[in-house]
Chains A and B, each alone.
Chain A
Amino acid sequence: MRIELDINGAVRELEVEPRTTLLDCLRDQLALTGAHAGCEHGVCGACTVLFDGVAVRSCLMFAVQAQGSAVTTIEGVTPGPGELSVIQDTFCETHGMQCGYCTPAMVLVAHALLADNPEPTRAEIVDAISGNICRCTGYAQIVEAIALAAERMRGANRPKDARK
């Protein structure tokens, strides 16, 4: 069936089978391969995208269900060719990854968290990423990346003496 999807701020018209998951649609039809298939049953979180700003699993949704909502993928939070968002940059700073497979999802979860809560505690960060499995890192450097990003984002564009 024919659908319209609002992906990363642009509306795309597509022909999809009703049974096509949002994940398969993003990857196979839109070439947005930053979302990854991990378990395809909603546990690992590697397929996470933002759905009206909320982190959801694109393997558990059909593409047709995404009509009328704004979908943001990792490609949508990357500022431009060769440029990193603050969060992407702090993931590099702390080496909050190894193989990179769960990483786009972790970055998106961090974007969603920090949009809601600019000053998360360690426990809140741990809680926010607890739906995303990373097998490489044991999470420490991911938590540190998000805490560092929060600190940098709080400090950005504010008078120097207002920074903590």
Chain B
Amino acid sequence: MSQAPSHHRYVSADRRVREDRRFVVGKGKFVADMALPNTKHVALVTCPHAAARIVSIDASRALKMPGVHYVLEGRELAAATLPLMTGLDTPNVPRRPLAFEVARYSGEWVAAVVADSRALAEDAAEEIDVQYEALPFVLDAEKALEPASPLVHEAHGSNVLLDKNFVWGDVEKDFAASPRKLSLRVKWGRSSTVPIETFGVVANWDPWRDMLDVYASIQMPRYADQIGLALKIPVTSVRVHHDVDVGGSYGVKRGIKHTVLAGYLSRRLGFPVRLIEDRLENMRGGDAHGPERLFDVDVAFDDAGIVRSMKMRALENVGAYAGRSPFQLGKPIGAIVGPYKIKSVQYRAIAVVTNKTTQDAVRGFGQGPTNLALERCMDEVAHVLGLDPIEIRRRNMIRHDEFPYLIPSGTTYDSGDYHIVIDKVVADSGYENLKAERDRLRAQGKLAGIGVAACLEPSGGNATFEALLNPAITTSTFMDSCRINVDGMGFITATMHTTSSGQGHETLLATVIGEVLQVDPDIIRVTRPDSLNSLPSGTPVGSRMAIMLGGAAFHAAEKLRTKFTTIAAHDLGIPLERAVYAQGNVHDRNAPAHKRTWAELVQIAYRNYHRMPAGMQPGLAVEHIYQVPTGGTLPTADGRVQMYPCFSFEFHLLLISIDPDLGRPEIVSYRLGHDCGTQISPKIVRGMTIGGIAHGIGAALYEEFAYNDDGQLIAQTFMDYLLPSSHEVPAIEIFDHETPSPYTVLGQKGTGESGYLGAPAAIANAINDALRPLGISTNTLPIKVSKLGDMIAQAREKIKAKKDTE
């Protein structure tokens, strides 16, 4: 772990995380812990077909059951509410909480039952008789593109939601000029981050105050706006409570459909309504699946392994409706060449609908899949040239003295020192020892491979990919904010304006403010006002909060310092330039004993208006609304734009050993080089990073929302959808490096997606290195034990048969 730089007192120090105290005693306040009086519970009736017309719904038996209050059908809800907000202009692909007329995936919600308890609601759901007429369906993205394919949304006229082609630089010329080319097809399987807490919401409509109170396990930008729009009520009648602890999200807690459903029911019925998904509802119909992406990549390179140009086609299977998922093809444009100096790029992004569960945002927002494709290519380039995979990356990487570095798609990378991070990881013969260990394992009859991957983590959340993929969107403002109040007794309260799901934002806020004000962060109270009392916040997406909330807090604290200093200078009768702020007190530079203490300044600000500088507002309240650094521009006509201000770097190096008889992979060792600039809270950064690798291990080896040919999700419990346990996640050695970002207040970059963005690529590369002696390879994730075992067995039989015939 890196040491705290001497110029910071609290930032980068190895301090505790304040949120932890409530969690270790079970006193987190999660949505399921909300107990409003008279709350009723929702259970859902789901469609058993991949696609079906809803012929009739008979709820009469259910409604006669004791304790059952209501059964809501899609027809009623569609008449009373507007479809949910989507990112693309696809008016004929409406998305609603309950299917209306047609259900488009197995598990889609068709009706909602409200009862005194969840158990009674589940009992009643079983008594609802829905008649369906099964419809033709399509599951595969490539098939969905075929003209003869069934249409998921007939009125839309095709299954294509998005098809954009970008050319940045002279791709054809660079390809023609390159002596070597290589093509690769890579597939990222449908998985997600699957938090242990399912999504949940409690909605309570108060008709006498015209107020919908919402408590939810949510991580969703513009959540209150979307609720108000769909329910057709003013957003001032929606009060989202931000002090609900979220039991993990990693992008996916986007339960807008759940909230509109519960909100409507509460308004309709006049009591609080609670909808907490059970695991089955979550896996099938929670609309929280992640990317399922097919890449066709061509790269052009020379004999030295310098990659000059790339053509990438990405086909995304977004499932039945368009949430924000098509935009997940857009974010990777901001780091489309990874850490490499590829001069020109053609990128075609296609999103199609199919009869699978709807996707929503998942950790990395599409960056992990793109990194997989790019890093598999780099390994193959190294292989065909007989070069070392680390060496080829070094040759292609942007050098430290080339930053800020403009990539072909219009984004400028802020800073980095990729070569030195690699040096740290391979130092002390780390790489040589690893190769020796691989060879030793191979000599023992194991299949063993070394995996390498390098990648960037775009951070800061300048989401101009929205405007890039949908010209009707002109959003260039991406902000976060902080309010600090020093009260009349001199105590400090700071606010943040969103929920958190484990990122330690209260600690972040207190640490940054403590640093600027030179006071112990532990004495700073952090609160989360509800949405009606909040300043704008973009919520914790896009690895942005260290940069954006940290930036807002830093600037607010500076304003407060300035106010203290100004009041003191006035009261001391000295020019402002001579007033020095030190640990809450202000003194005269020329006469340090001539000073005003914190308590005296509070006294002046609150009670001695006659001592205040003319025109200054009384009190000590400040706020800052912070626009994303380097943001504020829209895409050019040729599709270039600055996305995300900061680019963290990670370099993975691991050794994998595969039992050739069982096909079972075991990660023998794992090293990670990581540079996210200044680490505000090292404990948090380390946890996020190792946790990200654990997610990456899952995506690479275990986790898949697998469907059978009938369109049924067959991995719908944790018995089939396998999550890495402590046995599957090895000890991970992290080598930190800090290249501060020139664009942020403390040099910090993002880390919320670290580890996850590169681990799947590194693991895939390790497995391919292990399989190479057998003459086989795989480019489809997840690489499950069963698949690996079969591949190895077939290859060995083939080799044996060949030997026998010789």
Determine whether the beta carbon of A41 is less than 8 Å from that of B694.
no
Determine whether the beta carbon of A92 is less than 8 Å from that of B21.
yes
Determine whether the beta carbon of B27 is less than 8 Å from that of A34.
yes
Determine whether the beta carbon of A41 is less than 8 Å from that of B719.
yes
A115 to B726, CA, bound (A): 21
A135 to B676, CA, bound (A): 21
- Closest CB in chain B relative to A102 CB, distance in Å: 5
Determine whether the beta carbon of B246 is less than 8 Å from that of A99.
yes
Q: Mark A62-96, 1 if CB is under 8 A from B, else 0.
A: 00000000000111001000001000110111110
Q: Mark A94-105, 1 if CB is under 8 A from B, else 0.
A: 110111111110
Determine whether the beta carbon of B687 is less than 8 Å from that of A136.
yes
Q: With A34-B27, A78-B25, A104-B26 given, is the CB distance from A138 to B732 under 8 Å?
A: yes
Whether, in the assembled complex, B502 has its beta carbon less than 8 Å from a beta carbon of chain A, the answer is: yes
CB-contact partner of B119 in A19, A101, A122, under 8 A: A19
CB-contact partner of A98 in B197, B276, B687, under 8 A: B687
Determine whether the beta carbon of A95 is less than 8 Å from that of B17.
yes
Determine whether the beta carbon of B246 is less than 8 Å from that of A140.
no
Determine whether the beta carbon of A99 is less than 8 Å from that of B717.
no
- For B20, the chain A residues whose CB sits under 8 A away are 91-92, 95, 97, 100
Beta-carbon contacts under 8 Å, B177-199 to A: 193-198
Determine whether the beta carbon of B279 is less than 8 Å from that of A92.
no
Q: Number of A residues whose C-beta is below 8 Å from B?
A: 57
Whether, in the assembled complex, B260 has its beta carbon less than 8 Å from a beta carbon of chain A, the answer is: no
Determine whether the beta carbon of A135 is less than 8 Å from that of B24.
no
Determine whether the beta carbon of A137 is less than 8 Å from that of B691.
yes
A93 to B77, CA, bound (A): 49
Whether, in the assembled complex, A27 has its beta carbon less than 8 Å from a beta carbon of chain B, the answer is: yes
Whether, in the assembled complex, A35 has its beta carbon less than 8 Å from a beta carbon of chain B, the answer is: yes
Beta-carbon contacts under 8 Å, A118-164 to B: 122, 126-127, 129-143
Whether, in the assembled complex, B22 has its beta carbon less than 8 Å from a beta carbon of chain A, the answer is: yes
A39 to B755, CA, bound (A): 25
Q: Which residue of B lies closest to A76 (CB)?
A: B26
Q: Mark B58-77, 1 if CB is under 8 A from A, else 0.
A: 00000000000000000000
Q: Mark B326-366, 1 if CB is under 8 A from A, else 0.
A: 00000000000000000000000000000000000000000
Determine whether the beta carbon of A37 is less than 8 Å from that of B687.
no
A98 to B193, CA, bound (A): 14
Q: With A92-B16, A99-B501, A139-B694 given, is the CB distance from A74 to B25 under 8 Å?
A: yes
- Closest CB in chain B relative to A53 CB, distance in Å: 18
Q: Which residue of A lies closest to B246 (CB)?
A: A99
- For A32, the chain B residues whose CB sits under 8 A away are 26
Whether, in the assembled complex, B245 has its beta carbon less than 8 Å from a beta carbon of chain A, the answer is: yes
Q: With A41-B279, A95-B20, A136-B691 given, is the CB distance from A102 to B726 under 8 Å?
A: no
Whether, in the assembled complex, B250 has its beta carbon less than 8 Å from a beta carbon of chain A, the answer is: yes
Determine whether the beta carbon of A34 is less than 8 Å from that of B26.
yes
- Closest CB in chain B relative to A135 CB, distance in Å: 5
- For A11, the chain B residues whose CB sits under 8 A away are none
A142 to B723, CA, bound (A): 17
Whether, in the assembled complex, B431 has its beta carbon less than 8 Å from a beta carbon of chain A, the answer is: no
- For B687, the chain A residues whose CB sits under 8 A away are 95, 98, 136-138, 140-141
- Closest CB in chain B relative to A79 CB, distance in Å: 10
- Closest CB in chain A relative to B280 CB, distance in Å: 9
A100 to B20, CA, bound (A): 7
- Closest CB in chain B relative to A82 CB, distance in Å: 9
A101 to B719, CA, bound (A): 20
Determine whether the beta carbon of A88 is less than 8 Å from that of B25.
yes
Beta-carbon contacts under 8 Å, B261-300 to A: 276, 278-279
- For A34, the chain B residues whose CB sits under 8 A away are 25-27
- For B502, the chain A residues whose CB sits under 8 A away are 97-100, 136
Whether, in the assembled complex, B47 has its beta carbon less than 8 Å from a beta carbon of chain A, the answer is: no
A126 to B728, CA, bound (A): 10
- For A104, the chain B residues whose CB sits under 8 A away are 23-26
Whether, in the assembled complex, B168 has its beta carbon less than 8 Å from a beta carbon of chain A, the answer is: no
Whether, in the assembled complex, A43 has its beta carbon less than 8 Å from a beta carbon of chain B, the answer is: yes
- For A75, the chain B residues whose CB sits under 8 A away are 25-26
Determine whether the beta carbon of B691 is less than 8 Å from that of A133.
no
A142 to B248, CA, bound (A): 16
- For B250, the chain A residues whose CB sits under 8 A away are 135
- Closest CB in chain A relative to B684 CB, distance in Å: 7
A133 to B197, CA, bound (A): 11
Whether, in the assembled complex, B613 has its beta carbon less than 8 Å from a beta carbon of chain A, the answer is: no
Whether, in the assembled complex, B141 has its beta carbon less than 8 Å from a beta carbon of chain A, the answer is: no
Q: Number of B residues whose C-beta is below 8 Å from A?
A: 58
Determine whether the beta carbon of B25 is less than 8 Å from that of A36.
no
Whether, in the assembled complex, B403 has its beta carbon less than 8 Å from a beta carbon of chain A, the answer is: no
A143 to B690, CA, bound (A): 13
Chain A interface, DSSP helix/strand/loop, else mixed:
loop
Whether, in the assembled complex, A50 has its beta carbon less than 8 Å from a beta carbon of chain B, the answer is: no
Determine whether the beta carbon of B727 is less than 8 Å from that of A130.
yes
Beta-carbon contacts under 8 Å, B22-37 to A: 22-28, 30, 32-33, 35
Determine whether the beta carbon of A138 is less than 8 Å from that of B193.
no
Q: With A92-B24, A101-B28, A101-B248 given, is the CB distance from A138 to B196 under 8 Å?
A: no
- Closest CB in chain A relative to B29 CB, distance in Å: 9
Determine whether the beta carbon of B23 is less than 8 Å from that of A44.
no
CB-contact partner of A137 in B22, B33, B278, B690, under 8 A: B690
Q: With A34-B27, A35-B26, A39-B718 given, is the CB distance from A95 to B16 under 8 Å?
A: yes
Q: Which residue of B lies closest to A140 (CB)?
A: B690
A145 to B296, CA, bound (A): 45
Whether, in the assembled complex, B569 has its beta carbon less than 8 Å from a beta carbon of chain A, the answer is: no
Q: Which residue of A lies closest to B725 (CB)?
A: A130
- For A4, the chain B residues whose CB sits under 8 A away are none
Q: Mark B502-527, 1 if CB is under 8 A from A, else 0.
A: 11100000000000000000000000
- Closest CB in chain A relative to B750 CB, distance in Å: 15
A10 to B19, CA, bound (A): 30
- Closest CB in chain B relative to A21 CB, distance in Å: 10
Whether, in the assembled complex, B377 has its beta carbon less than 8 Å from a beta carbon of chain A, the answer is: no
Whether, in the assembled complex, B731 has its beta carbon less than 8 Å from a beta carbon of chain A, the answer is: yes
Determine whether the beta carbon of B23 is less than 8 Å from that of A43.
no
Whether, in the assembled complex, B655 has its beta carbon less than 8 Å from a beta carbon of chain A, the answer is: no
Whether, in the assembled complex, B729 has its beta carbon less than 8 Å from a beta carbon of chain A, the answer is: yes
Q: With A93-B16, A98-B688 given, is the CB distance from A136 to B717 under 8 Å?
A: no
Whether, in the assembled complex, B693 has its beta carbon less than 8 Å from a beta carbon of chain A, the answer is: yes
Whether, in the assembled complex, A6 has its beta carbon less than 8 Å from a beta carbon of chain B, the answer is: no
- For B197, the chain A residues whose CB sits under 8 A away are 36, 38, 46, 99, 101
Determine whether the beta carbon of B247 is less than 8 Å from that of A99.
yes
Most-contacted residue by chain B among A35, A43, A139 (CB, 10 A): A139
Whether, in the assembled complex, A107 has its beta carbon less than 8 Å from a beta carbon of chain B, the answer is: yes
Determine whether the beta carbon of A135 is less than 8 Å from that of B23.
no
CB-contact partner of B248 in A88, A94, A135, under 8 A: A135
Whether, in the assembled complex, B683 has its beta carbon less than 8 Å from a beta carbon of chain A, the answer is: yes
- For B693, the chain A residues whose CB sits under 8 A away are 138
A107 to B686, CA, bound (A): 20
A31 to B34, CA, bound (A): 11
- Closest CB in chain A relative to B421 CB, distance in Å: 20
Determine whether the beta carbon of B24 is less than 8 Å from that of A84.
yes
- For B718, the chain A residues whose CB sits under 8 A away are 39, 41, 43-44, 133
10 contacts between A and B (CB under 8 A): A44-B196, A46-B196, A84-B24, A101-B30, A101-B195, A101-B248, A103-B24, A104-B26, A138-B732, A138-B755
Q: Top 9 nearest A-B pairs by Cβ distance? A: A34-B26, A100-B23, A99-B502, A98-B502, A101-B247, A138-B694, A138-B690, A43-B718, A74-B26
Query: 6 more A-B contacts (CB under 8 A) besides A92-B24, A95-B20, A101-B195?
Result: A41-B717, A41-B719, A98-B504, A103-B24, A136-B687, A137-B687
